[in-house]
Amino acid sequence: MSSPPTLASLLRGRSSADVAAFVAALYAARGAETTVAGDVVIVDDTRYLVVTARQTAVVHRLRRRTTTPRRRIDRVVAVDATRAARIATRYDARPVSAADLDRLARYGLDRATADTLYRDEFGYPLSAVAPVPDSPTTDGRARPSVVGVVTVVAALVLLGTAIAGVGVAAAPLPWAWGAFDDVSVSTPSPLDGGPRAIGTTGLADDDVTETTPPPEPTTPSAREGEQFAPGLSSSGITDVAALAAAHRVALGNGSYHWELDYVEVANGSATASGTETVLVESRRRFVSTVAWTGEPTGSSPVATRSSYADGSVRYRPAANGTGVVIRSLNDFPPAGEQGWRASRYLLWYLSAESSTVERTLVDTGRPTAVVALRGKAYPIAEEYTARAHVTADGFVRSLSVSYVRTGPDTDPVRVRFSFRYDVDPNVSVSSPVWYTADEAHRAG
């Protein structure tokens, strides 16, 4: 019986146009804006050069000499990791191998989307394709987290086995997303042909999107008199997908504050930190404020840029600082984009090897279970610990996560992520300054 193919074997021998088409389709499935220009794939505002075995080193030396800053190369894609790393040094770019692309599909897309993508491109669903084994780089550079400029977070999006309903210990987290992956959810409108930038040209958005709206959760809230939330028992988390769905139901169409914090620490010093404050008036009206210091080296649940949803449209500042990018707003029931986004994080971060209910708090308005998790949650996460406060109806009031991200030829990075909610029925959302300033500029 023959062994199953790998993505590397499926891509090897294909033309650069074929490989570029796959790269574009992969990132488009996560919601990125993609354009193919010969052997260059533009993913939002990041340029991926596709290298195949049919192209000689002379070709790339000539391209290196004629590449202008306007035609920069940010990533070099090759089936072989060593070849990608070698050519990437000529452009001062980051390498992306077949193993990186395969991990992005497995851990950066939901299983149904990934299966469809692979079936359309290769005639095989992802489930019939074996993972590509790692191949360390040989140029002495740290292997970067490059596989997800979305994007997405994230899409994006986005799990493997967890979304399929597998239990707590089975679901892997994304191996690595690009440094500024945006994990908010947005799908281009079929009526207007997708995102467009007001007052600017070119590609400016870097959303991570879910191309197929998730089904409305059918998991009911906890029954009256039941002590634990759906998917949670006295022994710990029994069904992370049920708990994530219950969280969305608990949020519903309510109003609240949601604060997210992300920090990376290397050699004892914080190298990157991001904060995001989201004010939600209803599931279709929200505004988020994002601030970053430094550039993260791995995936981050904190968005790259602020956003504003007015009930039907979602706006974001353009990546180049000029104009505003517009996307149609998805009304994901029952809690909209922000609620679905939160449930996705729960699927990722609550999928650890073990969990226990430490205690139940009874003086918090609603009885709240304190859930502690530990164990490797995905292949490059060491020393993984997490703690969540979960009410009986499945509302995850707060979550804190800590782990050390490791990888081939990379220094370990301590990652800390947390979020917390403040339910407030009086939240009222108004347009942010960056939106009103652009509106005034366009008005003349």
Question: Which CATH architecture describes the domain 196-211+219-423?
Answer: Clam (2.50)
Helix, coil or strand: residue 278 = strand
What is the CA 397 to chain-centroid distance, rounded?
Answer: 22
The per-residue DSSP string of 194-232 comes to: S-EEET--S--------SSPPPPP-PPPPPTT--S-TTE
* Residue 336, pLDDT score: 92
How many angstroms separate the CA atoms of 37 and 54, rounded?
A: 18
pTM above 0.85, yes or no: no
What's the confidence (pLDDT) of residue 427?
Answer: 95
- For 267, the 3-state DSSP assignment is coil
CATH 2.50.20 in the chain, residue ranges: 196-211+219-423
Return per-residue pLDDT of the chain as tens, 444 residues. Answer: 568 889 999 998 788 888 998 999 898 887 777 888 888 999 877 889 998 865 544 444 444 444 443 458 889 999 888 888 888 888 888 899 998 898 888 877 777 888 888 988 888 888 888 888 765 443 333 333 333 333 333 333 333 333 333 333 333 333 222 222 333 332 222 222 233 233 322 222 233 333 344 444 444 443 344 478 999 998 899 999 999 999 999 999 999 999 999 999 998 899 999 999 999 999 999 999 999 999 888 778 999 889 999 998 999 998 777 788 888 887 788 999 999 899 989 988 998 889 999 888 876 667 899 999 998 766 678 899 999 999 999 999 999 999 998 876 678 999 999 999 999 999 999 999 998 865 645 554
Partners of 261 in the β-ladder:
275, 418
Say how many C-beta atoms besides its own lie within 10 A of residue 261's C-beta: 17
C-alpha torsion sign, points 334, 336, 338, 340: positive
Q: What is the pLDDT of residue 378?
A: 65
